[in-house]
A and B are shown apart, each in its own frame.
Chain A
Amino acid sequence: MVNAIEMAIDERGGKAGNVNIEYESQDSATAQAGQWDEAKCAENAQTAAQDEEIVGWIGPFNSGCAVVEIPILNEAGLGMISPANTYIGLTKPGGEPDEPEKYYPTGERNYTRVIVADDEQGQAGALLMEEKGVESVYILDDKETYGKGLADQVQQSADELGIQVIGREGVDTTAANFRSVMNKIAQEDPDAIYFGGIIENNAAQLVKDKLGAGMSNDDILFIGPDGIFLDEFLSQGGEAAEGAYITFGGLPESELSAKGKQFVQEYESRYDDEVQPYTAYAYEAANVMLDAIERASKDGEVTRETVLKEIFATEDYNGLLGTWSFDEDGDTTLTELSVQQVENGEFEYQRTIDAGEM
């Protein structure tokens, strides 16, 4: 993601309009936690809030991190564009009762995202199940903002489509394995198991133990979200990952517009790195931010206020993902999601689901 953002800046010669751009990347993970860490997220946001030179913020990657960062940056009036947060409550009602208002203490919105939110990803998961003839599903989550929020959306959509939700549990992600949970689920005999969560919370162990309890991915579908749409899921899961379905709040690089394909080629020739699902989204976010800064500089002074105004004014942006705008909540107007299945140790694109049609 950092490479993609740097590439976007380099392509403009380090300038947006007549302003020189400096970019600094911050890591929201700590070595100790092994994944994103609330305290670290807050620290990053505080640092940026106090530095007057900073007029825009790209990120964060994880929704749980966004929950911490948005209020801090909101008070600082700093505009944010996230390439990856899909948790619904960040921008619109549907999560906890006091969301999304509690993230915006000033009452003014400052947060946008270029990816499709989880209400639509949840619908896509449920639509996929309906299409595959699933009549009953067991839903698990990892008890985090993103995972639980998404699992809630799937549950709601499944109810609407008449798919029976047999059980709903948050798993203990510190457990050595999930064998007893899977053994219990096997007795209930659902047609599918949905896991709302991220790869760091041991999703590969979950699918291994699913097979260990005698539930093959052919008989009982395993469906997961974009949180496990990473190559690590394939390497850790091995044979057990074969046949698993994964929804993604966007399109993989093979399905992007002509512009998108060009980006993939340029990126891979430039960096010794393969394009991951979010790379294109990071690039898109960076370009939207740079455009906003450029427009602000044309109109006058580049301040946090003018940049923020210009971010929300993004309309009919013609980028890698297609032509889209931000709505008043800061969400993209795109509604296309994709479904992939693991085949021979690779994520294979299956089809596109337009959640806007549901």
Chain B
Amino acid sequence: MTTGEATKTRSAAVIDGIKSSTWSSRIAVALTALLLVMLLVRAVQEPALFTSQLLIGLTNGAILSLIALGYTLVYGIIELINFAHGDNFMIGSFVGLTVLSGTIFGLGLFAPITINSGAPLRVFGVLIALFVAMAACGLLNVGIERVAYKPLRNAPRLAVLITAIGMSFILQNVGLVWKGPIQVPFPELISSANILPSDAIIFRWKDLFVVLVTVPLLVALSYFIASTKQGKAMRAVAQDKDAAAMVGINVNRTISITFLLGGILAGASGVMYGLFNGITIFNVGFTQGLYAFTAAVLGGIGNLTGAVVGGLLIGVISAMSDQYIGTSWTPIVIFSVLILVLVFRPRGLLGDRSAVQGGGE
């Protein structure tokens, strides 16, 4: 009866765990359980509505996740909160918009790709916009690192933080000069029609598009970090820069590649944001960047899985709060969750830096 014994010891371990836990964590667990039960009751009462809101939350969250990954990648490797990352995301959406307009640097290369273009042309337009924005933002991010962060690598942490904020302002003003102070419309290249046959649950082609872009990017990123030589080098540099240099890893190049990856993700999410919402604005990087940064901290900054979990969680929390609490309260709910998580788990939900550094808390 070995299995029985195993169960017994496991349950004993759980009981021990509960006995040794603090009151505050017990309350936290009870609160979380209560919230989940309340949500579940709602889900049973109105399954279609709940599912629709869940899907809305997940798709909004997926875009946040991609931005959050950029914050977390850079933090994982040089412990810098790259404030310019959100604005890089904004530049990504502007680059995508410019590519789709067909007029680049005042040269009319081709007719604007709009809702009226044929289906193959629209698919081509989306792909080319994504590709160009990813390349542009990747290179921009590498450039920013070279100019603004690299010379300060051994300076006090605060100095780099200030240059990061400075870069953020510079990019924001570039965006302002580029597309003006007001929201700019994105062409509606992807249909807003519902894929599902019934009207009860809404899952649009746009939502599918977000999934189709996000999932391959996440898979590719985790493959890159887990299984390639360069990914191994990144993990080594994240653990210990000096030791990595001693065993012959080119630290500067590794850091540049990390920024390149972050920029690529920012470019992709920028174009996706524009196509998905249909509107972008020069300060979108600030507003969305704030939520994305919150997502990264919520999941555990430096932790790649954490950033994705944090992003999805914030998306779902805001959708649920809009539905069941009231949209006026949504920002308060999001940041209350953040504060509560940090009180009980100061390193975020999944612990900081575990994925990149190979160790947990």
Chain A residues within 8 Å of B, Cβ to Cβ: 29, 31-35, 143, 169-172, 174-181, 183-184, 187, 199-200, 202, 204-205, 208, 211-214, 232, 235-239
Contacts and interface: CB of A to CB of B under 8 A. Distances in A.
Given A143-B328, A204-B183, A176 B277 contact: yes
Contact of B330 (A29, A172, A212, A235): A172
A200 B330 contact: no
B53 A213 contact: no
A213 B202 contact: yes
A219 B278 CA distance: 23
A27 to B, nearest CB: 10
Residue of A29, A200, A212, A237 contacting most chain B CB atoms (<10 Å): A212
Contacts of A208: 277-279
Interface string B188-229: 100010000001001010000000000000000000000000
Given A143-B328, A204-B279, A187 B181 contact: no
Residue of B183, B184, B288, B331 contacting most chain A CB atoms (<10 Å): B183
B323 A29 contact: no
29 contacts: A34-B176, A34-B281, A169-B327, A169-B328, A170-B327, A170-B328, A171-B328, A172-B331, A174-B290, A174-B331, A176-B63, A176-B277, A176-B287, A177-B60, A179-B56, A184-B53, A184-B323, A187-B49, A202-B183, A204-B279, A205-B183, A205-B279, A211-B192, A212-B204, A213-B202, A214-B199, A232-B182, A235-B185, A238-B185
Contacts of A34: 176, 181-182, 281-283
Residue of B172, B283, B290 contacting most chain A CB atoms (<10 Å): B283
Contact of A238 (B60, B63, B188): B188
Interface in B151-202: 169, 172-173, 176, 181-185, 188, 192, 199, 202
A170 B173 CA distance: 29
Contact of B202 (A33, A181, A214, A232): A214
Contacts of A32: 169, 172, 283
Contacts of B330: 172, 175
A211 B278 CA distance: 13
B322 interface: yes
A143 B326 CA distance: 13
Given A170-B328, A214-B199, A204 B283 contact: no
B189 to A, nearest CB: 12
B273 interface: yes
A31 B192 CA distance: 33
A184 B330 CA distance: 14
B303 interface: no
Nearest to A187: B49
Given A34-B282, A213-B202, A214-B199, A179 B60 contact: yes
Given A183-B202, A236-B184, 14 more contacts: A31-B173, A143-B328, A170-B328, A171-B327, A174-B291, A175-B318, A176-B273, A176-B288, A180-B322, A200-B183, A204-B183, A205-B278, A232-B183, A238-B185
B313 interface: no
Chain B contact patch, size range = 35 or more
B113 to A, nearest CB: 15
A238 B184 CA distance: 11
B236 interface: no
A187 B49 CA distance: 8
A170 B331 CA distance: 12
Contacts of A35: 181
Given A169-B327, A205-B279, A31 B202 contact: no
Contacts of B326: 169
Interface in B31-73: 46, 49, 52-53, 56-57, 60, 63
A239 B185 CA distance: 12
Interface in B240-297: 273, 276-279, 281-284, 287-288, 290-291
Interface of B: 46, 49, 52-53, 56-57, 60, 63, 169, 172-173, 176, 181-185, 188, 192, 199, 202, 204, 273, 276-279, 281-284, 287-288, 290-291, 318-319, 322-323, 326-328, 330-331
Closest 4 CB pairs of A and B: A180-B322, A174-B287, A180-B319, A170-B328
A183 B52 contact: yes
A356 to B, nearest CB: 33
A237 B273 CA distance: 16
B163 to A, nearest CB: 18
Contacts of B202: 183, 212-214
A7 to B, nearest CB: 24
A183 B331 CA distance: 18
Nearest to B286: A174
Contacts of A212: 192, 202, 204
Contacts of A179: 56, 60, 319
B166 to A, nearest CB: 13
A236 B204 contact: no
Contacts of A202: 183, 279
Contacts of B181: 29, 31, 34-35
B182 A200 contact: yes
Contacts of A174: 287, 290-291, 331
Contacts of B328: 143, 169-172
Nearest to A174: B287
Contacts of B53: 180, 183-184
B185 A236 contact: yes
Contacts of A33: 283
B279 A236 contact: yes
Nearest to B332: A172
Contacts of A238: 185, 188, 278
A101 B108 CA distance: 57
Contact of A183 (B56, B279, B284): B56
Residue of A178, A179, A212, A214 contacting most chain B CB atoms (<10 Å): A179
A171 B287 CA distance: 14
A183 B52 CA distance: 8
